[in-house]
Amino acid sequence: MPDSPRRGSITIIGAGLAGALLATLLSRRGWRVEVFERRGDPRLSGYAGGRSINLALAERGLHALQQAAADEAVMRHAVMMRGRMVHPLAGGAELQRYGRDDSEVIWSISRADLNLELIDAAEAEGAVLHFDRRLEEVDFDACTMRIVGDGHDEWRPFTTLIGADGAGSALRAQMAKVVDIGERTEWLDHGYKELEIPPGPHGRFRIEPNALHIWPRDHYMCIALPNEERTFTVTLFLPHEGPWPSFATVPDGAAAVGLFERRFPDALPLIPMLEDDFDRNPTGMLGTLTLRRWHLDGRAVLLGDAAHAMVPFHGQGMNCAFEDCVALASHLDAAPDFATAYAAFAAQRMPDAAAIQHMALENYIEMRDRVDDADYRLQRALELRLQERHPGRFIPHYTMVSFTRIPYSVALARSQVQRGILQRATAGLDRLDGVDWAAVDAEVLRLLEPLAAASTARTTSLALPEPL
């Protein structure tokens, strides 16, 4: 069995976003931290993670970065997104703000830029990072692990292992060999293809930079997120199978051009390399990973995507993983031993992970099917009005998830109650003028308790970049 946390030695598997952040947080607390990463050092060989859907940094992630003193370095690469810029097929793009003003925004950042900054931060705090070293095997009884890579093949002792090695976690696979962790992956019947909008003339953005662009088309969609180099990362989401359009009926770049001509005509001129990008980039899979067990007593624990991978449609995968890191670091500080810390961490975070996984799936339907719907817009307007009438009691769903640190499980429960209030209040209406305000106010007071100020607090001391 591993020794007490007071001995101070921790081994992290994975130097991706969560692994590098956790290494920083723990090193700042005085832990001796070693990290093993299967990829090469991206600062020397270039980022090997491939292209990916851009990350949306929100309050939960910003707070974690602040705890690691990495916020200012990271935010140099971020681009503000005030809301969703919705592009209907008929034309006429419309900005739907996420919040009330520029104090309630999210930030687009590339995975590569963020990972590089966090690796530097971890090493600056004293963590020792080993690249080109993959976890091959673990003897949990002897507390030894086999590390392989770049000509090395050795067994090394460990005190305790933390798996921050993503959805394909090697540590999770090793844990599953000795205990039933209840692993299950539910694959979405939709996949994605990554494309790019390059800079325009004179190196400028081709479309509004401070927004997340959405082309909703019922059952499928296209999105675009800005990058600091004036490009946009574009992601096309389609069903894998079925009638046109799907990846089965749009199998190559030439067919993709035809799809864009008919269904995304305003986006097509923005993506000059559409055919080449479509043919070159693989079709990505999307799924939800759940486990019944996140830890093996005090010998190992999982967090982030290794424990609860989710679909990307609420932009919370990274934010949730960063919240995991802060929570685990706190439990390690407080607990008398690793087993106690890991059990407390799992008890706290498993309900929240399940909640945001559920909300991420829900948000896909909202983004592709509802954002240009009149009923949705009316209910959104009522949300904002009720927020003004009942501050601290009626908090819009997106606000709870993205602009506060309210536990995801609480946000989900309150969102379900609030959705019912909104639907009942707007039934049969096309304007807020017809709302029975006395009845709605009474329902809000009856069904929603005020939330404590601490749960809605925001990170305020960040040096944020100016909008572009």
CATH code where residue 141 lies? 3.50.50.60
User: Do 237 and 329 share a domain, yes or no?
Assistant: no
Q: Do residue 34 and residue 116 come from a single domain?
A: yes
Give the H or E element holding residue 214.
Answer: strand 212-216
Does 157 share its domain with 116?
yes
Q: Are residues 398 and 359 in the same domain?
A: no
Residue-level pLDDT at 79: 97
The number of distinct structural domains making up the chain is 3
Q: 46 exposed, middle or buried (CB, 10 Å; 0-12, 13-18, 19+)?
A: exposed
The series of mean pLDDT values per 10 residues for the chain, 468 residues long, is 62 98 97 97 73 83 98 97 96 93 95 96 98 98 97 96 98 98 97 97 96 95 96 97 97 98 98 98 97 98 98 95 98 96 98 98 87 90 96 96 97 97 96 97 98 72 50
One domain, residues 295 and 353:
yes
* CA 32 distance to own-chain centroid: 28
Place of tokens 């607090």: 457
Q: Of 342, 363, 384, which residue constitutes the final position of a domain?
A: 363
Task: Answer yes or no: do 161 and 244 share one domain.
Answer: no
d(CA 45, CA 25): 26
Alpha-carbon distance of 176 to 159, in angstroms, equals 19
Evaluate whether residue 356 is within a structural domain: yes
Whether 306 and 415 map to the same domain: the answer is: no
Domain that holds residue 247: 189-280
The CA-atom distances, in angstroms, between 240 and each of 82, 342, 369 are 31, 38, 18
Q: What is the pTM of this model?
A: 0.94
Are 83 and 97 in contact by the 8 Å Cβ rule? The answer is yes
User: Cβ contacts of residue 300 below 8 Å, gap of 6+?
Assistant: 138, 140, 160, 161, 162, 163, 171, 174, 175
Of 233, 264, 280, the residue at which a domain comes to its end is 280
Q: 85 lies in a domain?
A: no
Strand runs (DSSP E) across 22-93, as ranges? 32-36, 55-57, 79-81, 83-86
How do the residues of the chain divide into helix, strand and coil, expressed in percent and rounded to 5? 40, 20, 40
The pLDDT, as a whole number, for residue 465 is: 53
CA angle 7, 10, 16 (to 5 degrees): 160
Name the one residue in this structure whose structure tokens are 């690469």. 77
The answer to whether position 55 is within a domain reads yes
My answer on whether 245 and 353 are in the same domain is no
- Residue 362, judged by CB atoms within 10 A of its CB (0-12, 13-18, 19+), counts as middle
Residue 102: inside a domain: no
The order of strands in the sheet holding 161-163 is 128-130, 32-36, 9-13, 161-163, 300-302, 295-296
Indicate the residue among 232, 251, 280 that finishes a domain.
280
- 341 and 390 fall within a common domain: no
274 and 330 part of one domain: no
Looking at the structure, tell me whether residues 162 and 71 fall in a common domain: yes
- The pLDDT assigned to 461 comes to 45
For residue 454, the model assigns a pLDDT of 61
Angle at 396 between CA 391 and CA 397, to 5 degrees: 145
- Decide if 90 is inside a domain: no
- Report the alpha-carbon distance of residue 241 to residue 280 in Å, rounded: 20
Phi, psi angle pair for 162, to nearest 5°: -120, 120
pLDDT of residue 54: 79
Q: Report how far residue 369's alpha carbon sits from residue 378's, in angstroms, rounded to the nearest whole number.
A: 15
Asked, for residue 91, whether it belongs to a domain, the answer is no
- Residue 345 falls inside a structural domain: yes
Residues 38 and 118 in one domain: yes
User: pLDDT value at position 466?
Assistant: 52
* Residue 105 maps to a domain: no
- Structural tokens at position 390: 């009942």
